[in-house]
Chains A and B, each alone.
Chain A
Amino acid sequence: AQSVSQHNHHVILSEAASLELGCNYSYGGTVNLFWYVQYPGQHLQLLLKYFSGDPLVKGIKGFEAEFIKSKFSFNLRKPSVQWSDTAEYFCAVNAQDGGQNFVFGPGTRLSVLP
């Protein structure tokens, strides 16, 4: 069965700092990979997704993620965070062969200090 792990439970950064959130998954087949963001009191919104092709994916609000197949990783990055990026971030995986439903990581809470 698939599983998704996220390296950090809570990350605290100052504005303008660079961000990298780790995500690793376990699944032997071809996968779709996602990052979702949940702002305080709101629902999950899609930040970016990878299906195939260029392993470096650019999403909304200056976020990007890199798929490294050999490491089963899909880390999220942003060169300069803003206070408005304070949110919880979830990595998710879905098997392209239909072998598994969407599986979400436990989430990483990001707090950006002004």
Chain B
Amino acid sequence: NAGVTQTPKFRVLKTGQSMTLLCAQDMNHEYMYWYRQDPGMGLRLIHYSVGEGTTAKGEVPDGYNVSRLKKQNFLLGLESAAPSQTSVYFCASSYLHGSILDTIYFGEGSWLTVV
């Protein structure tokens, strides 16, 4: 049981380049999330998904797009990378939203540097 897996773990991009971060979970979770973590700012939600085929904006969605074509996968895309998008990105998933049993599980993070 791998839990939440992210690829790639490290990437350096030039300004203007595009890339996609892939997140996969094997826990049959309905909800998936993408966060970014920056020093002193904690975790900020970029986009999330409440089920296959759905996506929704979080707190800081600008400059990112997401897709959830399969329940187990949640892709985060940067169409034209900017230095302000240098960050650590965490994918997460949870079973139900608002459930008393709800717990969020995180991937190991993807370190992205935009130069």
Q: Which residues of A contact B (CB under 8 A)?
A: 9, 32, 34, 36, 42-46, 49, 51-52, 90, 92, 94-99, 101-102, 104-107
Per-residue CB contact flags for chain B residues 35-65 toward chain A (1 = under 8 Å, else 0) read 1000011110100100000000010000000
- Mind listing 30 A-B residue pairs with CB under 8 Å? A9-B40, A32-B100, A32-B102, A34-B104, A36-B106, A42-B109, A43-B90, A43-B107, A44-B106, A46-B103, A46-B105, A49-B103, A51-B100, A52-B100, A90-B42, A90-B43, A96-B99, A99-B98, A101-B33, A101-B45, A101-B48, A101-B97, A102-B33, A102-B45, A102-B92, A102-B94, A102-B104, A104-B42, A105-B42, A106-B41
A105 nearest CB neighbor, chain B only? B42
Q: Which residue of A lies closest to B108 (CB)?
A: A43
A34 to B104, CA, bound (A): 9
In the complex the two chains form, what is the Cα distance from A46 to B102 in whole Å? 12
The total of Cβ contacts below 8 Å across the A-B interface reads 55
Kindly list chain B residues whose C-beta atoms are within 8 Å of the C-beta of A45.
106
Residue numbers in A under 8 Å from B98 (CB-CB): 94-99
**Known contacts A34-B103, A42-B108, A96-B98; can you find 19 more A-B pairs with CB under 8 A?**
A9-B40, A32-B102, A43-B107, A43-B108, A44-B43, A44-B90, A51-B100, A52-B100, A95-B98, A97-B98, A98-B97, A98-B98, A101-B58, A101-B97, A102-B92, A102-B94, A104-B42, A105-B42, A106-B41
Give the docked Cα–Cα distance between A46 and B103 (Å).
8
Q: How far apart are A22's CB and chain B's nearest CB, in angstroms?
A: 15
Contacts of A102 in B (CB 8 A): 33, 45, 92, 94, 104
In the bound assembly, the distance between CA atoms of A83 and B109 in angstroms comes to: 24
Task: Say which size band chain B's interface belongs to.
Answer: 20 to 34
Tell me the B residues contacting A by CB distance below 8 Å: 33, 35, 40-43, 45, 48, 58, 90, 92, 94, 97-109
